[in-house]
Each structure stands twice: as structure tokens, then as C-alpha cells.
Amino acid sequence: MRADVQNLFIRIHMLHNAGMEDINMGDMLLLLEKHGYKVAEREVKQELERLTEDNFLTPHDDQYSITGAGIEELKEIRTVLHGLCSEVLQPEAEQTR
């Protein structure tokens, strides 16, 4: 997977996890690696910083919590993903109709 596409998925994973509980770089690195992403600590830190700059996460010490804007963004992402997954993941026979 190209790095730019992977980074979008990583940010979605981060927002999702931050929506459940505060996240930190170390835990996110392990989780992302479990999901098959090939990432370094530097990349995870950059994505956390980008989400913070976009006002989707708030840092406190080594933890990050989701903001109201992050919750709204995650809702929109889930809506779009639901439609995308329905279309992309349907069997090929149905796609050719």
C-alpha cells in the first residue's frame, strides 16, 4: 500500500481508538503493527501531530484524547466508510450487473 493511502488509514485507526479511550504513541505503534501496517515510531508521532494540528486530538503528557471536532470527523468517516465498504467489498458478480 502506498504511504499516502496507508497514512489515511492510520489516522482513521487513531481517531477510532481515541474515541474509545486515550491513546499514546507506544500503544498505537503496537496496534498498528498488529494490523499489518509497516510503520516506525517517527511516522506514528507525525500522524498524532497532524491529528492534533487538525484539532481532532488533544495532547496531555504522553496521552492524546479525541476532541469534539475529532468525534464529528470520525462520525463522517464512518458514514463514508460504510458506503465505500458496501460497494467495494460486494462480490464481483454483483459488481458487473
What are the pLDDT digits (tens) for 41-80? 999 999 999 999 999 999 999 999 999 999 999 999 999 9
Q: What is the mean pLDDT of residues 9-24?
A: 96
Taking the C-alpha atoms of residue 6 and residue 10, their distance in angstroms, rounded to an integer, is 6
1: enclosing H helix or E strand: none
β-strands 63-66, 57-60 pairing: antiparallel
Predicted TM-score (pTM) of this structure? 0.86
Q: From residue 49, how far is each of 4, 63, 75, 92 by CA, in Å? A: 16, 12, 21, 39
Quote the pLDDT of residue 92.
64
Quote the pLDDT of residue 76.
97
Q: From residue 69, how far is each of 16, 19, 57 by CA, in Å? A: 13, 11, 8
> Nearest-CA neighbor of 97 among 87, 80, 81?
87
